Copies of this chain bind each other. A is one copy, B any other.
Amino acid sequence: MSTHTLDHEAGLSRRSLLGRGLALGGAAALGPGTAAVAAEPGNPANLPPNVPEWSKTLGDGVAVRAYGKPSKHEAHVIRRDVEWLTASRESSVSFTPLHELDGIITPNGLCFERHHSGIAELDPNDYRLMIHGLVDKPLMFTLQDLERLPRTNRVYFAECAANSGMEWRGAQMNACQFTHGMIHNVMYTGVPLRVLLEEAGLKTNAKWLLLEGADSAAMTRSLPLQKALDDCLIAFRMNGERLRPENGYPVRICVPGWEANMWVKWLRRIEVGDQPWHHREETSKYTDLLENGKARRFTYVMDAKSVITSPSPQTPFRHGRGFTVVSGIAWSGRGKVARVDVTLDGGRNWRTARIDGPVFDKSMVRFYAEFDWDGRELFLQSRAMDETGYVQPTKDELRKVRGVNSVYHNNGIQTWRVSPEGEVENVEIA
List residues of A (1-47) whose CB comes within 8 Å of B's CBs.
Answer: 4, 6-9, 12, 14, 16-18, 22, 24-31, 34-35, 37-39, 41-42, 44, 46-47
Smallest Cβ distance from A35 to chain B, in angstroms? Answer: 5
Q: Are B12 and A71 in contact (CB under 8 A)?
A: no
Instruction: Tell which of B59, B134, B210, B325 touches A149, judged by Cβ atoms closer than 8 Å.
Output: B325
C-alpha spacing A318/B354, complex, angstroms:
48
16 A-B contacts, Cβ less than 8 Å apart? A8-B202, A8-B206, A24-B139, A27-B128, A29-B139, A30-B139, A35-B133, A38-B132, A42-B277, A49-B128, A56-B216, A103-B240, A107-B240, A148-B319, A149-B325, A152-B356
Contact B102 A153 (CB under 8 A): yes
The docked-state distance in angstroms from the alpha carbon of A76 to that of B61 is 19
Indicate if the CB atoms of A140 and B30 lie closer than 8 Å. yes
Interface residues of A in 216-258 (CB under 8 A from B): 216, 218, 220, 229, 237, 239-242, 244-246, 249-250
Query: Is the Cβ of B71 less than 8 Å from the Cβ of A244?
Result: yes
Are B142's CB and A214's CB within 8 A?
A: no
- From B57, B198, B240, A101 is in contact (CB under 8 Å) with B240
**Copy count, this protein chain:** 2
Let me know if A269 is at the binding interface, CB within 8 A. Answer: yes
Q: Find A249's partner among B42, B71, B108, B134 (CB 8 Å cutoff).
A: B71
A350 at the interface (CB under 8 A from B): no
Query: Which of A88-96, A292-300, A340-348 lies at the interface with chain B?
Result: A88-96
- Return chain B residues, CB-CB under 8 Å to A38: 132-134, 138, 271-272
A3 to B214, alpha carbons, bound, how many Å?
A: 31
Which of A17, A55, A249, A275 has the largest number of chain B CB atoms within 10 A?
A55
Are A26 and B195 in contact (CB-based, < 8 A)? no
Query: Do B119 and A60 have beta carbons less than 8 Å apart?
Result: yes
Cβ of A332 under 8 Å from chain B: no
Extra 14 A-B pairs, beta carbons < 8 Å, given A55-B214, A55-B215: A22-B149, A24-B141, A30-B130, A30-B138, A34-B132, A58-B90, A59-B121, A59-B216, A71-B122, A103-B240, A104-B153, A147-B325, A150-B325, A151-B327
